[in-house]
Amino acid sequence: MKAQDRIFLALDVNSYRRAEELVTRLKDYVGGFKVGSQLFTRAGPRVLRMIKKAGKPIFLDLKYHDIPATVARAAEEAVRHGVSIFNVHISGGYEMMWACVETCGKLSREKSLPKPLILGVTLLTSLTDADLSDLGIQRRIDAQVLSLGRMAQKAGLDGVVASPQEVKALRDAFGKDFIILCPGVRPAGANKHDHHRSATPKDAIAAGADYIVVGRPILDAPDPVLVCQRLIQEIKQASPR
Ligand code: C5P
């Protein structure tokens, strides 16, 4: 995989037009585009069609978390949209993840549609040990992430979304074929915003991440292309697997 293909730009913007500008300007500098709840709520599936037309992979980041039947039906729609990756919250439970995997597999076989990678969200990078304790979870973050990763693998998910700080433990525990995608990645010295568990792109990739998601460091930069080029250089230095 080329270094640039490891980068998904989070299109966390409030209009279709701004998303289109970013896709046009940055499509040659990133691997794909992540569409999350803000842009999807604002612009809907039209934005997915626009990214597909630009020939780039889509990560639909809606973090499904509902009863198994509802998540399975939402997942079917993600398959129909032709996204490359989508995600569910592992804390939605084994049955929910399993229903999602089964339904997507069946639909893609029957309709000859490509099956997206289905990733499980472990713990958001904004959470701390204190938040876990408030939620009534007695384990520490690292142990909880591994336990969630185990559930995801058992349910047949392709991999997980996790903080860069947990990548090494996940990679060691689940092997080379388990996909690990990391948000909360920040170039050295950059503003960490609301991420409590972040790392540099170089460290995330060196620890074993397959993909990184970067939003504000690119979106807010005076020269977004330059930021992407620096990210690519950093990833190359990490000598990815
Ligand atoms: O702007 P920034 O680089 O912080 O954007 C991070 C992106 O990753 C956001 O779109 C956020 O929704 C997403 N994210 C995620 N899972 C996490 C943390 C952040 O998908 N655990």
Q: Which domains does the chain have, with CATH numbers?
A: 3-237 (3.20.20.70)
Cβ 164 under 6 angstroms from ligand 1:
no
Cβ 116 under 6 angstroms from ligand 1:
no
pLDDT score for 191? 86
Q: From atom 2 of ligand 1, which residue's Cα is the shortest distance away?
A: 215
Q: From atom 15 of ligand 1, which residue's Cα is the shortest distance away?
A: 183
Ligand 1 atom nearest to CA at 63: 20
Q: Which residues are designated catalytic?
A: 63
Instruction: Name the amino acid, one letter, at 122.
Output: T
pLDDT score for 76? 98
pLDDT score for 194? 82
CA 109–ligand 1 middle distance (angstroms): 31
Cα angle for residues 198, 202, 205 (degrees, 5° grid): 85
Burial label, 28 (beta-carbon count in 10 A; 0-12, 13-18, 19+): exposed
For 63, residues 6+ apart whose C-beta sits below 8 A from its C-beta are: 37, 87, 88, 89, 121
Contact 99, 64 (CB under 8 A): no
Contact 118, 88 (CB under 8 A): yes
Cβ 18 under 6 angstroms from ligand 1:
no
Cβ 61 under 6 angstroms from ligand 1:
yes
Residue 125, φ and ψ in degrees, nearest 5: -70, -10
pLDDT score for 71? 98
Name the residue of 121, 213, 227 whose CB sits within 8 Å of the most ligand 1 atoms, as the mutation to test its pocket: 213
pLDDT score for 192? 83
pLDDT score for 241? 53
pTM score of the predicted model = 0.96
The beta-strand segments (E) located in 99-227 are: 117-121, 159-161, 179-182, 211-214
Q: Is the dihedral of CA 23, 61, 230, 210 positive or negative?
A: negative
User: Residue 214 pairs with which residues in a beta bridge?
Assistant: 9
How many other CB atoms are found less than 10 A from the CB of residue 230?
A: 16
Cβ 120 under 6 angstroms from ligand 1:
no
**Which pLDDT tens digits describe the chain residue by residue (241 residues)?**
999 999 999 999 999 999 999 999 999 999 999 999 999 999 999 999 999 999 999 999 999 999 999 999 999 999 999 999 999 999 999 999 999 999 999 999 999 999 999 999 999 988 999 999 999 999 999 999 999 999 999 999 999 999 999 999 999 999 999 999 999 898 877 888 887 877 899 999 999 999 999 999 999 999 999 999 999 999 999 964 5
Token output for 235? 């990833």
